Amino acid sequence: MPFSEFYRRTGIQFQPFNTIYQLYADKLAGRLKGVTDFLMVPEYLMYRLCGVKSHEYTNATTGGMVSAQTGEYDPAIIDALGLPGHLFHPLQRPGTAIGAYRGIRVVLCATHDTGSAVEGIPMDADAPYISSGTWSLLGVKTPRPITDAASQRANWSNEGGVGYNRYQKNIMGMWLVNRLREELCPDEEWGRITAAAEASRFEATVDANAPAFLAPRSMKEAFDAALGTEPRAPSDYFRCAYHSLAMSYRQAIDELERNAGKNYDRLYIVGGGAKNAFLNQLTEAATGKRVIALPIEATALGNLKIHMNAEEA
């Protein structure tokens, strides 16, 4: 199946670790022989709690086998890969009670962590979000998937939300600065690192999403190779990293607005990266959006919200 057809059917961006490729590799290696069931990790944990095997919608969409049109596993994709059809059951939505553990109801949350995180953001208007951690998940809620050629070329994803579509892209995050800290100043506090980066006058940037930064032997050497001119001090590397992240956010938001056909005036940032006031400042300057930084555990809050709504229903 050509990727253009695959994207039209699923709307899922290419990631080499997507479930669809893992399962096909399992098939080629003979690991699916005799297998009776297929559960994602959250579903397995709930199975251990209540003995019920469930297939939750938001997590399933990320794997690359769910139809963007029907919201169920796409039989044409399953058949094209020759995967055992009995492994793929009807999908259940967040808020569904599936069983009980010692008298306590077991309820599906959005079992994909970003699905719950987006539910946990207290938005007062429709706006893009960044779930900022090791990686940055940047997206916006849309009524339906956007699976056109422009979205495919820019490698945007359409993942299940709680009553909406998450038009979203995985981009670089705090991985850059975490690795730099390990090499350059492992004992330094983050407050001092960020303050020194803010005081630096090093203005060069890199393409934060370049493959060279995904798993380099040395993050410092990866920066040196990309810059062509070696920064003078550790603070220069960190300033470059933060500035480069902000520029990558601007590029992604520009793509988002073009593809969604809508302009936004604000940007919500949640998660650990939301604590970084300097990066938030750079992001606001780069994107021209009002940054609303909420350094909260949005995934946990979204999980709780879904469970509370299920109790009230």
The per-residue pLDDT for 141 is 96
The per-residue pLDDT for 180 is 98
Residue type at 193?
A: I
Model confidence pLDDT, tens digit, residues 262-305? 999 999 999 999 999 999 999 999 999 999 999 889 999 999 99
Cite the residue boundaries of each domain of the chain with CATH code 3.30.420.40.
3-107, 112-299
> Partners of 166 in the beta sheet?
141, 159
CATH 3.30.420.40 fits 3-107, yes or no: yes
pTM above 0.75, yes or no: yes
The per-residue pLDDT for 313 is 65
Q: For residues 247 and 208, is the Cβ–Cβ distance under 8 A? A: yes
SS3 46: helix
Mean pLDDT within 45-50: 96
The per-residue pLDDT for 232 is 84
Q: Is 113 a catalytic residue?
A: yes
SS3 138: strand
Model confidence pLDDT, tens digit, residues 23-34? 999 999 999 999
Model confidence pLDDT, tens digit, residues 131-167? 999 999 999 999 999 999 999 999 999 999 999 999 9
Q: Report, at the CATH architecture level, how domain 112-299 is classified.
A: 2-Layer Sandwich (3.30)
Model confidence pLDDT, tens digit, residues 83-116? 999 999 999 999 999 999 999 999 999 999 999 9
Residue type at 162?
A: V
Question: What is the pLDDT of the chain when averaged over all its residues?
Answer: 95
Residue 178's Cβ-count burial label (10 Å; 0-12, 13-18, 19+) is middle
pLDDT above 70 coverage of the chain, percent = 100
Q: CA-CA distance, 81 to 73, in Å (whole number)?
A: 13
Most confident of 11-20, 122-131, 214-223: 214-223
Give, in degrees to the nearest 5, the angle at Cα 294 between 289 and 299.
120
Annotated catalytic residue: which of 113, 126, 148, 224?
A: 113
Q: CA-CA distance, 1 to 201, in Å (whole number)?
A: 50
Q: CA-CA distance, 304 to 198, in Å (whole number)?
A: 37
